[in-house]
Structures are given as C-alpha cells and as structure tokens.
C-alpha cells in the first residue's frame, strides 16, 4: 500500500533532506517529531540525527522505557541535557547543525551557540512536516482505534443527553468513556455547546443545562498511543426550527461535498474553497468563520491546513478533517466533522457515526 | 493581608521592572503570563506593556469575551497578529522592547526583528516570575476551590478502588468527578500507579488491575478558572508488608517536616535539603529521586522550584507543593503531597485529605 511510510523510510527521507539542506545533522527538539521518528512516548526527548547515526537524549525516568520502545535511534540517558552531551565529544555530528527554528525558544538557541561556538547552527523550518503528514500502516492502525473509540463514546453519550444535564456533565461523560473504552485521554477538551452557545466555534462546556428545542454541537476526540481522533456531530434536542433543520442539511451537503472533492495533490486552499464556495452560493459564506479542516496525527492540529492559507499539497496517506460549520450568533451553530484518509482514489471517512440529523 | 498582590499592583511592579531594565515596553507572549496580568482566558493573546499603556492582542473569536473578562489592558481584536498591529503605527511603544526569550520561538523573534527593523528587541527572562509566585486573594480563592474539589474527588474514588478495577478505570473516575464537581478539567493526567508501578514517579495509568496487598499512588489535580491543584496520596489495598508500612510512615514524617520547616525567605534548595537530609539519614536518600516540590498557579509547575537547583527565594503568598517520595524499584513507591500557602507564620496546608495511611 502506497500510504506506508515505514520507519526506515522515515530515516531515509530525513537524511535526503539533510543532504538537500547541506546539513551534517539536525536536532529534533519538538517532542511530537521526536516521537514520530522514534516512537518514544516520554515527556522529555531530543533527537540528534546525522547522515549515519541518530541518538535520542532523555533522562533517567525513561531508562527502562527506552529499551522496549525506541526505534530508529540509539537512546542516551543523560541528567545534563542534550547540549552537554553534544559538548562531551562522545558523539560525532559534524559542524553544520540544523535546529527547529519555529519550535525552539530564542534563549535556548543562544545558549547552544554559546556552549558550542564551533558549531554552525542553522535555523530550519518544515523539516519533518511533509513526511509527518503521510501516515504509515502502524500510525493508521492507532488512528483507526482512536476513531473507533470516539464512535463508541458518541453512541454512549447520546443516551444521557437531555435538558436535565449540563454541558459540563456531557463533557465529563466524554472524558470518562474515552478512558473506559481504552484511550489514554482526551485529545482536546470536549466542546459541548448548546443553543446559541453553538455559534461559538470554540465554546468551552459550561454549567448551563442543555437547551430544549435547540441544536447541540459536540466536538470530541481521544488519544491512542499518542495518536488523536477529532470528530464533531450536531444533534437536535427536542423540536428545532425549520431554519435550523435547513442549515443542518446545508452543512451536511458541504461536508459530503468536501469528502467527495478531496483528492491527493490538491492544496488545502483548493479543497477549502470548494466547500466555502458552496456555502457562499447558498448565502452562508460569512457564517463559516474557520477553515474546512486540518491534518491529524500525534498532534490534533497538523499540516497540511485545509484553509485559505493552506498552500501545502495534501499527500496520499494524509489523515485530514472535513469540518464545515455555519454559526448564527444569538441563534445556533452547526458543524459536522469526520476524519478522512486520503488514498489514491479519494477520501475514505474513518468514523462510522451517522450523519443524518439525530433527534433526541 | 500581605499576600495580596492586587491587579493594579501587578501593573505597578511590572512597570518598575520596565524602568529597571531600561525598557520602553515588554511583550508578554507566554499565555499564562498574559492571563495572569489580564485575566484573559482565551487561547490566543499577547500583551504589549508600556510605561503608560497595556494592550492585549487577540482574535475575533474572543470579541465578546474580552469585554467582560479583561482587566489591566485594553483589548485589541486583530486578524493579523500583534506584529502587524505594532507595525500599524496605531500604538506608541518606544524603541526598546523586551521579549520573553525563554518562551518565544527563535523564528518568531527573527521575524519580529525583520518586520520592525527600527525597534531594538531585548531578550528578557524572568520578567514576571517573581510576581507570579505571589498569589493575590482572588487567585487564592480559585486555588482553594480547586483543592477543595480535589479533596472531594479523592473521597469519591476511595469508594471504587479495589483489585477489580484497573488503574485507568480509577483515572477515568478522577477526570469525571473533577468536571462533575465543577472543575474545568484535570490540571494534568492523573497518575494511578499500583504495586511496583508506584516506583515510577511519573507512571501513566495502565490497563493493569489494581494489585491486592500493595500500595497505590494517586497523584491528581484539577483546574478552576485556570488555577491548578496538585495532590498525592498513597493508600494500602489489602494487607501490606511491614517494610511498606515503615516507608509510608517515614515519607509522612518527611512530608510533615517539610511543612513545618517551610518559611518565607528560604530558597527552594534549602527547604528541599531539610527533607532530603532526613530521608538520607534514614537510609532512603537515594530512593528520593525528584525534587521536594514546586510552586503552583496557572501552571501546575511554576517557580520557585523546591529542589536542588532552587535558588529563588520562597515569598510570602507563594503556593508550593511538599511532596517527598521513596521509590523502591520492583517493589513499591510512596509519595505524599499537599499544596501549602506560605504565610508570614509558616506554611498552611490547603487540602483536608487525611494523611495517616488509608487501608482499603
């Protein structure tokens, strides 16, 4: 399967990039990138990648864990940090070393330069992103598990939604069942937004009771072996207005259009524009105040961005969200979101949750 | 009460610091610091503080929220970010502008310098930390609420702990009751570590069942209006060995000694040393592999650090943890942790949870 970017392949591509950038080595200080390459799941780890070697620097807490977990790099336990190890003379990494300029703090870079004055530190951005975007079979398996749990949790919480519970009660239940069904944790704080609060795309769950005769937006996800799910459904509680029903059906159309239109090789901007133009033609362009989607992986928001600023092409093997929304201040909001896998044939939705309006 | 560092006082101290550092302005890009100063709880906000003004730059999502929430700064809604606003000529902020060098990415700093070539950007560390460490009455009220919820949740989960449930089941219950009792969310992923897994200070909750006849370490906390709690208890499930009981009592002694010894004006290193020397004198110094504690606030780990590298003095009004632990690989771990408020008279523990060994 062409979506498989296997572990050794990761190293191969990164080393090609080292050569392209004329670097002797690259420091991966951003933890999700270090984890992506080595599978190390600890809270402290930096990879030093050279043309011939790769080391993962971490601390004594992970002494046992690295033995079974780490691939693609040789683990080094240190109490002094990676800069001290680089000074020690024990590791050979040349003189031109790239660092993740958009992730590493200014003061840390200054300190590295001071401690290692003979090294030329080169600011690099987007070193891993194009490779991280392509999920291999192992990563896909974890993401499918996360999505399956999210489907199950959604089924479960439908049972308890009523005007007698608060948004926060529902959020509590989501977090609870995520763990009970085997996830490590939420991939982000669940959004449970009832009635007019649904018009705030990033509403936090409040102590307000779920409104009767209104729409309820539920945006939720979980994490399995570090990999995230992210899924939104909007459901009707009681009787809703004709306008709410019409907007729901329109957003559903935009969502299905987004899925049908998604093709490898398009930019995120192009895909976003298709759904946006549809909503605009139907009079709701202004009410769609965010991007159509984003890639998902070890981070819940990854590149490519599926939005107006999304110039990166969507590769085969990417997992992206398709999540159009319409937000009418003072009234309600509707968002419908699936994670889809981009294949050579198009986009395959990963969740099974029903998309026709659920009326509770 | 001398612990009150009221809002206007925050501005006063920060402006004194501007003068000391000979800065015209300071950029607070680190969100917890921006929130600390302005109470803004959104996910995107940067403060530009001058000798005479303070602006909070955020985006359209928070248009309504800033009106009721923000103090100490004038909110500015922008879709282009704070650098574009600084270029616009609409704001007067002099020519010497500090930035948080240990929090801001290298590439972001380079871009600021490029976009605003006439500004002298000055790397600054520790601009807010000494003031953030002193909690005012409003902050203390929020932290007391968070601690009270944690006490309640701990009581609640004691009912369900048995060898018939997994570590993850207990963790799920903690997250659930945090929200049900009114917290926004967990302040960190709960640690629930049974038997030999208790010997890993940062163990994640697993699918393993709680072991009978062994100790169980539970480290948990929640968030109220952004402010964190952090609390650990170790309980006995079934019958435990004499060694386990002896170690429990020793850690409890070290914990109480830490609380009795904590005085404003000490450094974190000095306080850490008292508990460490006690455990060392009793043969368990090596088994205490982490710091005695840390300050808590909008972040679960703040300065001052109460550990071997803690050179910062502990001020009146600080809230710190006292959490000695003994970890015996292959056997068990014990940790007992309270948050305490440093007053002029010593340290006042905030939780009510019992400290004598609970046997389930």
Nearest by CB to residue A179, choosing from B43, B101, B168, is B168
Distances (CA, A) of A274 to A259, A305, B216, B328: 10, 15, 54, 60
Nearest by CB to residue B105, choosing from A43, A105, A168, is A105
CA distance B160 to chain A (A): 14
User: With 70 as the cut, is the pLDDT of residue B15 above it?
Assistant: yes
For residues A126 and A143, membership in a common domain is answered with no
| Residue (of A265, A264, A283, A262) closest to A273 by Cα position | A262
For residues A174 and A305, membership in a common domain is answered with yes
pLDDT at B4: 41
pLDDT at B338: 98
Q: Does A67 touch chain B (CB under 8 A)?
A: no
CA distance B8 to chain A (A): 29
CA distance A31 to B227: 25
Under the banding of pLDDT at 50, 70 and 90, the label for residue B3 is: very low
Tokens of B126: 């520790």
Tokens of B285: 């110094």
Q: Does B184 touch chain A (CB under 8 A)?
A: yes
Contact A304, A295 (CB under 8 A): yes
> How many interface pairs between A and B have CB atoms less than 8 angstroms apart?
94
Share of chain B above pLDDT 70, in %: 98
Nearest by CB to residue B61, choosing from A61, A175, A201, is A201
Residue found under tokens 């040349």: A94
For residues A115 and A144, membership in a common domain is answered with no
CATH of the domain at B81: 3.40.350.10
Q: Does A181 touch chain B (CB under 8 A)?
A: no
The conformation of residue B358, written as its DSSP 8-state character, comes to P
Best of A59, A113, A185, A223 to substitute, by most chain B Cβ atoms within 10 angstroms, is: A185
Contact B197, B208 (CB under 8 A): yes
Contact A184 B169 (CB under 8 A): no
Of A130, A148, A175, the domain-final residue = A130
Strand partners, A233: A218
Contact A205, A170 (CB under 8 A): yes
For residues A79 and A96, membership in a common domain is answered with yes
Nearest by CB to residue A104, choosing from B105, B178, B202, is B105
Q: Which residues of B touch A61 (CB under 8 A)?
A: 200-202
Asked whether residue B87 is domain-assigned, the answer is yes
* CA-based nearest residue in chain A for residue B203: A61
User: With 90 as the cut, is the pLDDT of residue B201 above it?
Assistant: no
Q: Which residues of A touch B220 (CB under 8 A)?
A: none
CATH of the domain at B147: 3.90.230.10
For residues B255 and B326, membership in a common domain is answered with yes
Contact A172 B172 (CB under 8 A): no
CA distance A123 to B122: 20
**Peptide bond preceding B172 in cis form (omega within 30 of 0):** no
Nearest by CB to residue B179, choosing from A102, A123, A171, is A171
- If you average pLDDT over every residue of chain B, what do you get? 95
Q: What is the tens place of the pLDDT at every residue in B19-69?
A: 999 999 999 999 999 999 999 999 999 999 999 999 999 998 888 889 999
Tokens of A230: 């992210």
Q: What is the tens place of the pLDDT at every residue in B78-107?
A: 989 999 999 999 999 999 999 999 999 999
CA distance A12 to chain B (A): 27
Tokens of B340: 């305490």
* CA-based nearest residue in chain A for residue B190: A185
pLDDT at A7: 54
Q: Which residues contact B338 (CB under 8 A, 6 or more apart)?
A: B231, B255, B259, B321, B322, B323, B349, B350, B351
Distances (CA, A) of A350 to A144, A147, A221, A311: 7, 7, 13, 25
| Residue (of B323, B314, B324) closest to B346 by Cα position | B314
For residues A94 and A192, membership in a common domain is answered with no
What ipTM did this prediction achieve?
0.90
Q: What is the tens place of the pLDDT at every residue in A113-170?
A: 999 999 999 999 999 999 999 999 999 999 999 999 999 999 999 999 999 999 999 9
SS3 B87: helix
Q: What is the tens place of the pLDDT at every residue in A163-182?
A: 999 999 999 999 999 999 99
pLDDT at B6: 54
| Residue (of B141, B101, B140, B96) closest to B121 by Cα position | B96
Q: Which residues of B touch A176 (CB under 8 A)?
A: 172-173, 175-176
Of B128, B158, B185, the domain-final residue = B128
Asked whether residue A359 is domain-assigned, the answer is no
For residues A251 and A175, membership in a common domain is answered with yes
Tokens of B176: 């659930």
Of B72, B93, B128, the domain-final residue = B128
Nearest by CB to residue B109, choosing from A106, A176, A178, is A106
Range of the domain at A60: 7-130
Nearest by CB to residue B105, choosing from A60, A103, A172, is A103
Mean pLDDT calculated for residue range B118-128: 97
φ and ψ of A9, to 5 deg: -65, -40
Number of residues written out for chain B: 360
pLDDT at A6: 55
Q: Does B63 touch chain A (CB under 8 A)?
A: no
CA distance A308 to A290: 9
Number of residues written out for chain A: 360
Best of A98, A176, A182 to substitute, by most chain B Cβ atoms within 10 angstroms, is: A176
Contact A202 B43 (CB under 8 A): yes
pLDDT at B112: 97
For residues A52 and A37, membership in a common domain is answered with yes
Asked whether residue A2 is domain-assigned, the answer is no
Asked whether residue B123 is domain-assigned, the answer is yes
pTM to 2 decimals?
A: 0.92
For residues B123 and B243, membership in a common domain is answered with no
**Number of domains making up chain B:** 2
CA distance A281 to A289: 15
Nearest by CB to residue B106, choosing from A109, A168, A202, is A109
Q: Which residues of B touch A106 (CB under 8 A)?
A: 99, 101-102, 104-106, 108-109, 123
User: With 90 as the cut, is the pLDDT of residue A203 above it?
Assistant: no
Asked whether residue B356 is domain-assigned, the answer is no
For residues A104 and A206, membership in a common domain is answered with no
Q: What is the 3-state secondary structure (H, E, C) of chain A?
A: CCCCCCHHHHHHHHHHHHHHCCCCEEEECCHHHHHHHHCCCCCCCEEEEECCCEEEEECHHHCCHHHHHCCCCEEEECCCCHHHHHHCCCCCCCCEEEEECCCCEHHHHHHHHHHCCCCEEEEECCCCHHHHCCCCHHHHHHHHHHHHHHHHHHHHHHCCCCCCCEHHHHHHHHHHHHHHCCCCEECCCCEEEEHHHHHCCCCCCCCCECCCCEEEEEEECEEECCEECCEEEEEEECCCCHHHHHHHHHHHHHHHHHHHHCCCCCEHHHHHHHHHHHHHHCCCCCCCCCCCEEECCCCCCEEEEECCCCCCECCCCCEEEECCEEEECCCEEEECEEEEEEECCEEEECCCCCCCCCEC
The conformation of residue B359, written as its DSSP 8-state character, comes to B
Q: What is the tens place of the pLDDT at every residue in B314-351?
A: 999 999 999 999 999 999 999 999 999 999 999 999 99
Asked whether residue B90 is domain-assigned, the answer is yes
Segment holding B145, helix H or strand E: helix B137-158
CB contact residues (below 8 A), chain B span 110-169, against chain A: 110, 123, 125, 168-169
Asked whether residue B2 is domain-assigned, the answer is no
Pairing label, strands B185-186, B74-77: unpaired
Nearest by CB to residue B125, choosing from A107, A125, A184, is A107
Q: What is the tens place of the pLDDT at every residue in A4-43?
A: 455 578 999 999 999 999 999 999 999 999 999 999 999 9
For residues B22 and B142, membership in a common domain is answered with no
pLDDT at B173: 97
Nearest by CB to residue A172, choosing from B123, B179, B189, is B179
Contact B107 A99 (CB under 8 A): no
CA distance A345 to chain B (A): 36
Mean pLDDT calculated for residue range A321-343: 97
Q: Does B89 touch chain A (CB under 8 A)?
A: no
CA distance A93 to A25: 6
Sheet holding B227-228, edge to edge: B185-186, B222-224, B227-228
Asked whether residue A360 is domain-assigned, the answer is no
Under the banding of pLDDT at 50, 70 and 90, the label for residue A61 is: confident
Q: Which residues of B touch A200 (CB under 8 A)?
A: 61
CA distance B295 to A10: 40
Distances (CA, A) of B174 to A97, A124, A210, B158, B199: 45, 42, 23, 10, 21
For residues B118 and B173, membership in a common domain is answered with no
Q: Does B88 touch chain A (CB under 8 A)?
A: no
Q: Is A31 exposed, middle or buried (0-12, 13-18, 19+ CB in 10 A)?
A: buried
Residue found under tokens 């926004």: B184
Contact B102 A106 (CB under 8 A): yes
Between CA B299 and CA B307, with CA B303 as vertex, the angle to 5 degrees is: 120
* CA-based nearest residue in chain A for residue B169: A180
* CA-based nearest residue in chain A for residue B125: A107
10 Å Cβ neighbour count for B338?
26
Q: Does B209 touch chain A (CB under 8 A)?
A: no
Contact B110 A103 (CB under 8 A): no
- If you average pLDDT over every residue of chain A, what do you get? 95
Distances (CA, A) of A83 to A57, A119, B3: 10, 12, 39
Q: What is the tens place of the pLDDT at every residue in B126-152?
A: 999 999 999 999 999 999 999 999 999
Q: Does A99 touch chain B (CB under 8 A)?
A: yes
pLDDT at A64: 84
């Amino acid at each position: 399967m062409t979506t498989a970017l296997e572990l050794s392949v990761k190293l191969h591509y990164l080393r090609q990039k080292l050569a392209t950038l004329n670097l002797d080595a690259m420091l991966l200080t951003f933890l999700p990138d270090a984890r992506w390459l080595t599978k190390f799941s600890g809270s402290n780890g930096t990879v030093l990648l050279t043309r011939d070697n790769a080391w993962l620097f971490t601390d004594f807490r992970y002494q046992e864990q690295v033995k079974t977990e780490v691939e693609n790099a040789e683990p080094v336990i240190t109490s002094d940090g990676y800069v001290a190890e680089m000074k020690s003379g024990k590791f050979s990494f040349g003189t031109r070393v790239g660092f993740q300029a958009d992730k590493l703090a200014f003061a840390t870079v200054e300190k590295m330069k001071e401690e290692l004055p003979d090294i030329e530190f080169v600011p690099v951005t987007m070193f891993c992103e194009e490779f991280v975007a392509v999920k291999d079979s192992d990563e896909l398996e974890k993401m499918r598990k996360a999505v399956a749990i999210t489907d199950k949790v959604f089924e479960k919480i439908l049972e308890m939604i009523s005007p007698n519970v608060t948004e926060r009660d529902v959020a509590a239940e989501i977090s609870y069942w995520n763990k009970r069904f085997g996830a490590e944790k939420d991939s982000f704080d669940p959004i449970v937004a009832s009635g007019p609060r649904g018009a705030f795309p990033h509403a936090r769950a409040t102590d307000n009771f779920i409104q009767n005769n209104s729409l309820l937006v539920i945006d939720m996800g979980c994490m399995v072996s570090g990999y995230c799910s992210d899924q939104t459904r909007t459901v009707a509680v009681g009787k809703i207005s004709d306008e709410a029903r019409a907007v729901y059906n329109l957003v559903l159309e935009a969502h299905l259009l987004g899925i049908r239109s998604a093709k490898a090789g398009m930019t995120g901007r192009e895909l976003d524009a298709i759904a946006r133009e549809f909503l605009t033609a139907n009079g709701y362009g202004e009410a769609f105040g965010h991007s159509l989607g984003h890639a998902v992986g070890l981070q819940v928001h990854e590149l490519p961005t599926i939005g107006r600023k999304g110039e990166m092409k969507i590769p085969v093997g990417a997992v992206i969200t398709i999540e159009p929304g319409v937000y009418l201040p003072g009234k309600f909001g509707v968002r419908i979101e699936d994670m889809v896998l981009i294949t050579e044939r198009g986009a395959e939705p990963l969740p099974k949750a029903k998309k026709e309006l659920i009326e509770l």
